[in-house]
Structure 1
Amino acid sequence: MPATAPRATTRTPYLLATALFLSYACWSVQRHRQLRTSGYDLGIFEQAVRGYAGLGAPVSTIKAPGFNLLGDHFHPILAVLAPFYRLAPSPITLLIAQAALIAASSIPITRLATRLAGRLAGVSAGLAYGLSWGLQSAIDFDFHEVAFAVPLLAFGLTALLERRFAAAAAWTLPLITVKEDLPATVAVIGLLVALRGRRRLGAAMILVAVGAGLLIVGVLLPALNPGHVYAYAGSTAPDGQNPLQRLFLPAVKLRTLLELAAPTLFLSLRSPLLLAAVPTLAWRFWSTNPSYWGTGFQYSAVLMPIVFVAFLDALPTIGTGRPARTACVAALAATILIPAPIRGLPDHWRVSPRAQQAKLALTRIPDGAHVAADNRLAPQLTARRTVYLFPAYPQPDVRPEWVAVTTPPDTSMAALVTMTAALDRLPAYGYREALRTNDVIIFHRQ
């Protein structure tokens, strides 16, 4: 028995990660099967990965005809998914990859908590992290490139906490290829490395991160963008508002901060590692886009590994042994009490007959065809067809052979009046109704 106990403890992080992966994957795939995914963003990212898989550029026609997605956000790391997509060309490949990446990020956190306070603490901390609202929100909303950042941060920050500085640098420097805002996070981690004694390595990380960030935002993104600008610069421009008010008001921003710290019983606030969350929070709260301020979508996923590793860093301040174990169990309880999107999993196993009928109707559109589809139907078509977003298309100079829309009209990306007007224009563009069901209308251009 004593000989097997260490082995069981060693397996625990991987068993927990496997359970999280299965839960994440089942949830994501079922959402897609029930037509609850969207062109913005699953369809867009599938088109990008499909471009890489074809040894081409990550072009997304959902954004615009010929639009290179590297001119929108800088995420060349998506090319890693290309071999998997060639084997299984489907949006489900992206959803499963995201589930695997985020689940894997629980391994170093569970392992470190186990080393600090025992197996019960490890399981509790790993579950609290895996069930945290930031990760659940990401899983519940399509696929995003930040899925790569989550394990890189988890492995990198735990390595930093264990004073494995070279490993910390090796894990965190690839964040530069995930999204253009993450070089700032790498720079802060470099500062933490320097403050913990490896000044040269930390300084090198800061220089690389700052240089890469300036190159990406100032040169690469504008060069690849059709308008030759960084598309999101406008939301960060000064507006004459008091800087403190702009950063912390309206109150939804303070609520986000509260919900970030609450799952860790506010112990994460004791750790300097929490500084790594500052760049992400700063650009989100400074932006004029309200979508960035709250707890929805994928924006908080990168904050979860930072907050929970900071929590583990602060555990010794309350004592070892029983106090630390109690804190980890309490963190799990606090995580469960905070509202999160993944609830009632058994309710989502059965695909509704209406979703099945809609998917069957879409088979009327042949493989290889060009089709304008609304936001709800687009990701059901992107694997085998060239998809544009309805109602932006068709236009006089871009008229796909087919148009597919839901009925009643999907208004997630356009107002009802806009959708109705676009439908009314279809006969003038040469489209005739080819198929109508209770949920889908398909038009074909003669």
Structure 2
Amino acid sequence: MSETPELTSTRPQRAVSRLSKSGAPARSRSTASDAAEPATSRLQAVLPWAVAAALTVFYAAVSIRRHAQLLTSAYDLGIYDQAVRSYSHWGLPYNSIQGPHFLVLGDHFSPVLALLAPLYWIHDSPATLLAAQGCLIAIGVVPLMKWAHRSVGLGAALVVGFGYGFSFGVANAVTFDFHEVAFAAPLLAFAAVAFGDGRLTAAVVWAAPLVFVKEDLGLTVAVLGLLVAWRGRRLLGLLTTIGGGLASALAVLVIIPAFNPLGHNTKTSKFGTSIVHQAATLLTPDIKIVTLVLLLAPTVFLAVRSPIIVLAVPTILWRFLATDQAYWGVQYHYGLVLMPIVFAAFVDVLRRRESGIRWILAASAAVTLYLVPQNGFAPAFTSTLWTTNPATAATHALLQRIPDGTTVAASNQLVPQLTDREHVTLIGRTLLSVSQPEYIVSETANLGFPLGTDGQLAWLADARNHGYVDIGSAGTVVLLHRG
């Protein structure tokens, strides 16, 4: 695509020789411009990585602090912590939370998690996952800012970095445990920017590993192939589309059922019995419209004018076609893979505009700033997240009474506090007669997943009837030992 002179901040200017009144050659205006070019190039190279480093520290601090505040959960930090630990011991990714010796590949096809195993050789802890996730997501800002700076200007780079870094998709992923799609953020950012920049082979190379991140992302790779074919590389595009589609089909229909103890892919039940019926209600209820608005608002809705936005269609479709309401809104981590796509599309539109860019950037920054207090990062700007209240401290002290290396059944938000020390099962997911833990530790109030407060209390009563006795408590948390 062509670039207009107004939007290219680093375009070399032609030197014009001038004479001063004394007859000596005067300094041309291009000399200053040429001298500034190396400095601009250095800034373009360094600034995105500096922003990524700052975001990494912020993301890691927020997520690790949430973990210390007992705000993480078995689903999903506990699951992935056990899975990566299994990889670090040269085994398949098993966990004891979803069921006895449950193989994670039977839930999601995410072999990319094995890349994190070496980190556990250095520091074996759920905090390692949270820090790694922060780094992966933050790296996504690098290609976006570089492209924005190179093709539009410094202001655009800063606004895009701010918009991506504090978007709802990023914020709600960072503040909801750990998820494999953290790997998708940088891959999609580099792929989308390469496509927008006309480097079609590079776009495919960056996108191809997505098929190992999560089973649905093969569809995104397939759509990228269609875009590459549309841009003229028909063979490359066709092969990419076929490869992405086959990878998703193989993962969903063959690999996951083969590893699942039930012999089928349990996630397919989340799409009901009639896709036609789901398609008829694609944009209802209103929460789906709200999700689209929040997705596009930081780009002043201009992202829809770029072909890059088509990469978001597979993710939006499967989410809105599902019967599970958790997929429809902006909570949890489901919006993360959309953020690099949306902001790459935004840059693509900006670089082809000839006017009004300052106003667009100002509006984008204002929308992002307005939405931050409403996303998952909001607590990070209060003292609540950074101070430990007595009840939390007492709970940590109670957990320390459980010996290392024993077996424990724990409630949802206590599981990830123990996965690096004990063999932990989740109350309500494995029968007590099967797990037979030495210890039970559980919250007793304001419980949700998986049993709810009443179900949890009934489960604890049954445990006491089977010989478990209370040996300690901290606020609403009780510790039982097998008598």
TM-score for the superposition, normalised by structure 1: 0.96
Q: 1:224 aligns with which of 250, 259, 262?
A: 259
Q: Which residue matches 2:450? A: 413
* Gaps in structure 2 of 5+ consecutive residues: 1-34
Relative distance call for 1:116 and 1:5 in structure 2 (3 A) is closer
Map 1:98-247 → 2, pairs under 5 A: 98-239=133-274, 242-247=277-282
Measure how far apart 1:6 and its partner are. Answer: 3.2
Q: 2:324 aligns with which of 274, 281, 289?
A: 289
Counterpart-to-counterpart distance in 2, 1:240 and 1:308: 30
Give the letter aligned to residue 142 of structure 2. Answer: I
Q: 1:383 aligns with which of 414, 420, 429?
A: 420
Counterpart-to-counterpart distance in 2, 1:293 and 1:103: 25
Measure how far apart 1:317 and its partner are. Answer: 4.1
Mapped pair 1:84 → 2:135: no
Counterpart-to-counterpart distance in 2, 1:225 and 1:135: 30
Give the letter aligned to residue 437 of structure 2. Answer: P
Q: Which residue matches 2:370? A: 337
Q: 2:311 aligns with which of 276, 281, 288?
A: 276
Counterpart-to-counterpart distance in 2, 1:74 and 1:118: 40
Measure how far apart 1:242 and its partner are. Answer: 4.0
For the 8 Å contact 2:229–2:236, the answer to whether it is kept is yes
Aligned partner of residue 442 in structure 1, secondary structure: strand
Counterpart-to-counterpart distance in 1, 2:203 and 2:459: 52
Q: Which residue matches 2:479? A: 442
Counterpart-to-counterpart distance in 2, 1:311 and 1:366: 53
Measure how far apart 1:360 and its partner are. Answer: 1.4
Give the letter aligned to residue 265 of structure 2. Answer: Y
Give the letter aligned to residue 366 of structure 1. Answer: P
Moved more, 18-27 or 68-77: 18-27
Measure how far apart 1:384 and its partner are. Answer: 1.6
Counterpart-to-counterpart distance in 2, 1:409 and 1:255: 28
Q: Which residue matches 1:327? A: 360
What do you get for the CA RMSD once the two structures are aligned? 1.6
Measure how far apart 1:22 and its partner are. Answer: 1.4
Give the total of aligned pairs: 444
Measure how far apart 1:71 and its partner are. Answer: 0.2
Measure how far apart 1:375 and its partner are. Answer: 0.4
Q: Which of the pair has more CA radius of gyration?
A: 2
Counterpart-to-counterpart distance in 1, 2:400 and 2:98: 23
Measure how far apart 1:235 and its partner are. Answer: 1.7
Give the letter aligned to residue 63 of structure 2. Answer: S
For the 8 Å contact 1:187–1:210, the answer to whether it is kept is yes
Counterpart-to-counterpart distance in 1, 2:468 and 2:190: 53
Aligned partner of residue 387 in structure 1, secondary structure: strand
For the 8 Å contact 1:161–1:313, the answer to whether it is kept is yes
Moved more, 409-418 or 202-211: 409-418
Measure how far apart 1:430 and its partner are. Answer: 2.2
Q: Percent identity?
A: 41
Measure how far apart 1:394 and its partner are. Answer: 4.6
Map 1:252-271 → 2, pairs under 5 A: 252-271=287-306
Moved more, 195-204 or 367-376: 195-204
For the 8 Å contact 1:433–1:441, the answer to whether it is kept is yes
TM-score for the superposition, normalised by structure 2: 0.89
Instruction: Note the alpha carbon deviations across 1:251-274, whole angstroms, 9 max, x for none.
Output: 111111111111101111101111
Counterpart-to-counterpart distance in 2, 1:186 and 1:150: 14
Measure how far apart 1:243 and its partner are. Answer: 4.5
Counterpart-to-counterpart distance in 2, 1:397 and 1:253: 41
For the 8 Å contact 1:435–1:442, the answer to whether it is kept is yes
Give the letter aligned to residue 387 of structure 1. Answer: V
Q: Which residue matches 2:404? A: 367
Give the letter aligned to residue 205 of structure 1. Answer: T
For the 8 Å contact 1:373–1:388, the answer to whether it is kept is yes
